Amino acid sequence: MPKIKLAEKTVELIREICAQFNNQETELINVLHQVQHKLGYLPAEVQEVIAKELNASVAKVYGVVTFYSFFTMLPQGQHPISICMGTACYVRGAEKVLTEFKRQLGIEVGQTSADGKFSLSCLRCVGACGLAPVVLVGEKVYGRVSPQQVSKIIAEYQDGCASAQSA
């Protein structure tokens, strides 16, 4: 993957977040969460700055980013779609829902659609098992999703804005 040159203000932002956690290596996961929340993803160049600020090895930061499924090194679509693959969701048909999203968007897990609108990922339990199977689009939660509802969910975001009504 080509090297990204980080803007100075991006580096500053990362430094500020690390400072909020007292540049403690033990706060690595919290720092990664905050940085991903602000930047959308955690490419290698961002990980290098975090490692330097927390006085941690780049290998350690990389290890944590790749271990947890909620961290991503790839740029996300405008509307990141995440399907919960935790036990409750899996048992209630999450895999069929995922297959339908893949089919309709024409992308695999970890990819972003050509127009940059949607990206697809899987999560472990998001703590809403009573609503299984659960799908997140950005921070909006959809519960008891069936494959038949997938087109309706995608359509909500096709015009660039989500409808206010919940599924």
- Residue closer to ligand FES by CB (options 84, 107) is 84
Q: Which uninterrupted H or E stretch holds 140?
A: strand 140-142
Residue nearest to ligand FES (CB): 86
Q: Which uninterrupted H or E stretch holds 83?
A: strand 79-84
- Residue closer to ligand FES by CB (options 13, 134) is 134
d(C-alpha 4, C-alpha 91), whole Å: 41
Question: Residues with Cβ < 8 Å from 121, sequence gap 6 or more?
Answer: 69, 72, 80, 81, 82, 83, 109, 110
The answer to whether 84 is annotated as binding is yes
Positions in the binding site for ligand FES (CB under 6 A): 84, 86-89, 125-129, 132, 134
In the complex, minimum distance from the CB of residue 89 to ligand FES, in angstroms, rounded to a whole number: 3
- Residue closer to ligand FES by CB (options 44, 126) is 126
The answer to whether 161 is annotated as binding is no
Instruction: Judge residue 62's burial from the number of C-beta atoms within 10 Å of its C-beta, 0-12 exposed, 13-18 middle, 19 or more buried.
Output: middle
The answer to whether 89 is annotated as binding is yes
- Residue closer to ligand FES by CB (options 2, 127) is 127
Q: Quote the tokens at residue 151.
A: 């087109």
State the binding site for [2Fe-2S] cluster: 84, 89, 125, 129
